[in-house]
C-alpha cells in the first residue's frame, strides 16, 4: 500500500466557530461533546449504512478528546472520507493505549522523539502486520502535521519519516488458479441468489471495489451501438468526491460477457420488484434483493420483504459458498474469499494477458500506474506467464535458476545472448551497485533492492559494498542508545554483508584484512 501525499488542513484556534458549523454539514444531529458522531450527510450510496459513516471517540481518553475531535474536523474539511478519518481515529487510539502503558501519569499528548522511539519499539514487539505499522505511522504523521501548535504542545513531528515499507504486496490477496476454478464453478450454481452471483461475476470480470459494485443503480445497463454500456460508480479512494464518477464498461453480448449481462438483467428485474418495499433513501439500488434464509440442507427460502445488499452481507455469503462447496486453501482450511481478492486477480490477470496500464486504469479508475504495479501486480506468482511471454517474443532459451552476478561486464550464470537481450529489455533497470533483472516485479522502493531476488550485484563494486557494511555497523555502535536508529543501521549492514558474501562465493574474492 502506498500513501499518497495529501494537503493537510492545520488547526487554527481562530476558526473554532467555522469548525463547529462544519459539524452541521456532516450530520443532522451531531453533538461535539458526544462520543459518537453519525455523519449521515456523508453517506455516498444506498449500499452504505449509518455504521459506515460513524466516528467513535470512546477509545480516546477524555483529556485528549477535544484535540482529536478538532483534528477530525480539520481533516474532513480537507475533503477526506469518513472511512479514512475513522482509520486515523484507530491509529490515535493505539497511540493513546501506548501512552497509557508507557507514560500512565502524563497529561500531555507526548510526541517527543524519545517517546516516539519507545513507541516504535512497542509496535515492533507487537503482532501487527508490516502494512498496519506503516499505516499507523502515516496516520500519526498526518495528525502531527494537522495539529501543529496545539496549545504549544505539538511543535515537532517525529513521524515525518515512515520506517515501514509503504508498498506491501501480499500473495494471499491473489487467488491461486486451482481455487479460482472451484469458485467459478460454485458461482455458476443457479440455486444461489441472483444478487450474490451477480456481485461475484461483476468483480470477477471487471476489477472493482465492493462499495462501487454495491453502489450501482438499477438503470446501470444501457444499449449502445450494437453493444451494452455498464455504468459503475467510483469514489476517489482517499476522499474528495461525495458524488460518484461513473466508469463506463463496454460489453459485447457474447461469451462470458453475455452471461454477465443476463445476470444483471435478472437482478434488475428482482430489484425493480422490490423498490416499493425498501426505505425511500435505499431506492434505486441494483442490489435490492428479496430476503432469504439458508437452510443447513442448502435450500434457500425467500420472503416477501426486500433489503439492499451491503459489504458484510456479500462477504458472509461468499464464506457460505466456500463452506458449502468445501473449497480449501493449501493448509486444508476453508478458503476465506474476500471481494478485494477478486480485484487483485482481475488486475494481475490482465497484466499477464498483455493489457497496458492505461487500459487497466480505464477499467479500475486508478489515477496512476503506481498502485497497479506495486500493490495489485502479482505476476511473481505467475512466473510461467512472464517467462513464456519473454521467450516467445525474444526467442530466448531457458534461463538458469542459479544466482546471477555482474562481473567484468558479464552477468555470470547467464547465457550470453540472453544477457544482451536482458540488458535491452524494458524489464531490466540499472540500480546503485548493479542491475535489477525484472523491475516490473519490484515490490518496494529502490532502497530495498539489496533484499530483492532480482538484484544482480556488480562484483567490481565489492569495495563499495564492504565499505557500506562497515559504515552502517559504525553507525549502529554510535547510536546504541537510540534503538530506532540502531536497529535500522544493523539491518542495512546485514543486507550489505549478504551481497559481499554472494560476490565472494561466486568469484573467489577475499576481503583484505
Cell of 133: 505499522
Contact 57, 65 (CB under 8 A): yes
Task: Of 38-42, 346-350, 415-419, give the lowest mean pLDDT range.
Answer: 415-419
- pLDDT score of 399 more than 50: no
CA-CA distance, 507 to 459, in Å (whole number)? 8
Range in 81-95, 348-362, 478-492 with the lowest mean pLDDT: 348-362
- The candidate with the shortest Cα–Cα distance to 271, out of 314, 301, 246, 308, is 308
C-alpha 12/C-alpha 16 separation (Å) is 7
Which long-range contacts (C-beta less than 8 Å, at least 24 apart) are formed by 228-233?
Answer: 228/252, 228/253, 228/261, 230/206, 230/264, 232/202, 232/206, 232/208, 233/45
Whether pLDDT at 395 is above 50: no
Name the band, by pLDDT with cuts 50, 70 and 90, for residue 447: very low
DSSP, collapsed to helix, strand or coil, labels residue 303 as: strand
> C-alpha angle with apex 79: 73 to 85, nearest 5 degrees?
55
Q: For the purposes of burial, counting CB atoms within 10 Å of the CB of 437, is it exposed (0-12), middle (13-18) or buried (19 or more)?
A: buried
Other residues' Cβ atoms within 10 Å of the Cβ of residue 77? 15
The pLDDT score that the predictor gives to residue 511 is 53
Task: Please name the helix (run of DSSP H) or strand (run of DSSP E) that holds residue 36, with its range, or none.
Answer: strand 36-38
pLDDT of residue 400: 45
- Percent of all residues in the chain with a pLDDT value above 70, rounded to a whole number: 73
Which range scores top for mean pLDDT: 237-246, 355-364, 371-380, 493-502? 493-502
Helix, strand, coil % over all residues of the chain, rounded to 5: 50, 10, 35
- Long-range contacts (CB closer than 8 Å, 24 or more residues apart) made by 409-414: 411/435, 411/456, 412/506
> CB burial class (10 A; 0-12, 13-18, 19+) of residue 116?
buried
Quote the CA–CA distance of 230 and 264 in Å, as a whole number. Answer: 10
| pLDDT, tens digit, 9 for 90 and up, residues 137-190 | 999 999 999 988 787 667 778 998 888 866 555 556 788 888 989 999 999 998
Q: How high is the pLDDT of residue 375?
A: 59
Report the range out of 90-94, 131-135, 148-152, 365-369 with the highest average pLDDT.
90-94
> Residue 464: is its pLDDT beyond 60?
yes
pLDDT band of 368, cuts 50, 70, 90: low
Q: What whole-number distance in Å separates Cα of residue 437 and Cα of residue 225? A: 46
State the average pLDDT over residues 256-283: 93
State the angle between helix axes of 483-507 and 462-478 in degrees (0 to 180), rounded to the nearest 10.
160
From 208-217, 244-253, 261-270, 422-431, the region with the lowest mean pLDDT: 422-431
Local structure of 227: helix, strand or coil: strand
Q: How many CB atoms lie within 10 A of CB 142?
A: 22
CB environment 149-171: b (16+ within 10 A), e (fewer): ebeeebeebbbeebebbbbbbee
All 3 cell numbers of residue 110? 507526548
Average pLDDT of span 79-91? 90
Dihedral class, residue 332 (left if φ above 0, else alpha if ψ from -120 to 50, else beta): left
* pLDDT score at 370: 58
Domains and CATH numbers, the chain: 13-152 (no CATH), 172-361 (1.10.443.10), 398-507 (no CATH)
Whole-number Å distance between alpha carbons of 423 and 411: 10
pLDDT higher than 70, residue 412: no
Sign of the CA dihedral running 472, 494, 138, 445: positive
431 pairs with which residues across the strands?
A: 434
Percent of the chain scoring above 90 in pLDDT? 34
Q: How far is CA 434 from CA 193, 321, 441, 444, 446, in A?
A: 55, 49, 16, 17, 12
Quick one: average pLDDT of 367-385? 56
Among 108-122, 342-356, 428-442, whose mean pLDDT is lowest? 428-442
Q: How far is CA 29 from CA 20, 76, 82, 281, in A?
A: 12, 17, 16, 18
Mean pLDDT of the chain: 79
Which of 87-91, 298-302, 443-447 reaches the highest mean pLDDT? Answer: 87-91
Q: Determine if residue 36 is left, alpha or beta; phi over 0 gives left, psi from -120 to 50 gives alpha, anything else beta.
A: beta
CA dist 211 and 234 (Å) reads: 8
pLDDT for the residue numbered 49? 79
Amino acid at each position: 500500500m502506498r500513501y499518497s501525499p495529501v494537503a493537510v488542513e492545520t488547526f487554527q484556534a481562530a476558526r473554532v466557530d467555522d469548525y463547529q458549523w462544519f459539524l452541521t454539514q456532516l450530520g443532522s444531529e451531531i453533538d461535539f461533546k458526544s462520543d459518537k458522531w453519525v455523519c449521515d450527510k456523508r453517506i455516498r450510496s444506498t449500499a452504505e449504512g449509518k455504521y459506515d459513516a460513524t466516528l467513535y471517540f470512546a477509545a480516546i481518553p477524555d483529556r485528549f478528546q477535544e484535540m482529536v475531535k478538532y483534528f477530525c474536523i480539520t481533516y474532513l474539511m480537507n475533503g477526506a472520507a469518513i472511512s479514512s478519518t475513522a482509520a486515523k481515529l484507530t491509529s490515535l487510539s493505539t497511540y493513546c493505549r501506548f501512552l497509557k502503558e508507557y507514560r500512565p501519569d502524563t497529561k500531555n499528548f507526548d510526541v517527543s522523539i524519545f517517546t516516539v522511539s519507545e513507541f516504535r519499539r512497542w509496535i515492533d514487539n507487537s503482532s501487527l502486520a508490516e502494512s498496519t505499522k506503516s499505516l499507523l505511522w502515516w496516520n500519526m504523521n498526518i495528525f502531527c502535521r494537522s495539529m501543529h501548535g496545539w496549545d504549544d504542545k505539538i511543535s515537532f513531528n517525529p513521524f515525518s519519516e515512515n520506517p515501514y515499507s509503504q508498498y506491501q504486496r501480499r500473495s494471499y490477496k491473489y487467488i491461486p488458479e486451482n481455487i479460482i476454478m472451484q469458485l467459478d464453478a460454485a458461482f455458476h450454481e443457479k440455486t444461489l441468489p441472483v444478487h450474490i452471483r451477480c456481485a461475484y461475476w461483476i468483480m470477477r470480470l471487471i476489477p472493482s471495489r465492493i462499495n462501487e459494485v454495491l453502489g450501482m443503480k438499477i438503470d446501470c445497463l444501457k444499449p449502445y451501438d450494437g453493444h451494452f454500456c455498464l455504468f459503475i460508480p467510483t469514489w476517489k479512494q482517499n476522499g474528495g468526491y461525495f458524488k460518484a464518477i461513473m466508469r463506463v464498461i463496454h460489453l459485447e453480448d457474447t461469451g462470458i460477457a453475455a452471461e454477465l449481462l443476463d445476470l444483471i438483467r435478472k437482478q434488475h428485474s428482482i430489484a425493480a420488484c422490490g423498490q416499493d418495499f425498501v426505505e425511500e433513501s435505499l431506492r434505486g439500488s441494483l442490489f435490492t434483493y428479496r430476503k432469504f434464509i439458508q437452510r443447513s440442507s442448502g435450500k434457500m427460502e425467500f420472503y416477501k420483504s426486500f433489503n439492499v445488499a451491503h459489504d458484510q452481507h456479500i462477504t458472509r455469503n461468499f464464506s457460505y459458498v466456500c463452506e458449502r462447496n468445501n473449497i480449501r486453501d493449501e493448509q486444508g482450511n476453508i478458503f476465506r474469499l474476500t471481494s478485494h481478492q477478486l480485484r487483485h486477480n482481475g488486475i494481475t490477470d490482465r497484466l499477464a494477458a498483455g493489457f497496458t496500464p492505461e487500459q487497466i486504469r480505464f477499467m479500475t479508475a486508478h489515477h496512476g500506474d503506481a498502485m497497479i504495479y506495486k500493490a495489485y501486480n502479482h505476476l511473481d506468482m505467475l512466473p510461467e506467464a512472464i517467462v513464456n511471454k519473454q521467450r516467445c517474443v525474444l526467442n530466448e532459451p531457458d534461463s538458469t535458476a542459479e544466482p546471477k552476478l555482474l562481473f567484468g561486464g558479464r552477468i555470470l550464470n547467464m547465457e550470453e545472448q540472453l544477457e544482451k537481450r536482458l540488458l535491452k529489455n524494458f524489464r531490466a533497470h540499472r540500480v546503485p551497485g548493479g542491475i535489477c533483472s525484472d523491475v516490473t516485479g519490484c515490490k518496494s522502493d529502490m532502497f530495498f533492492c539489496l533484499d530483492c531476488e532480482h538484484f544482480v550485484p556488480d562484483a567490481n563494486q565489492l569495495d563499495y559494498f564492504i565499505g557500506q557494511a562497515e559504515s552502517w555497523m559504525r553507525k549502529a555502535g554510535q547510536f546504541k542508545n537510540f534503538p530506532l536508529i540502531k536497529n535500522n543501521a544493523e539491518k542495512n549492514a546485514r543486507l550489505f554483508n549478504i551481497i559481499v558474501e554472494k560476490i565472494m562465493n561466486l568469484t573467489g574474492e577475499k576481503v583484505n584484512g
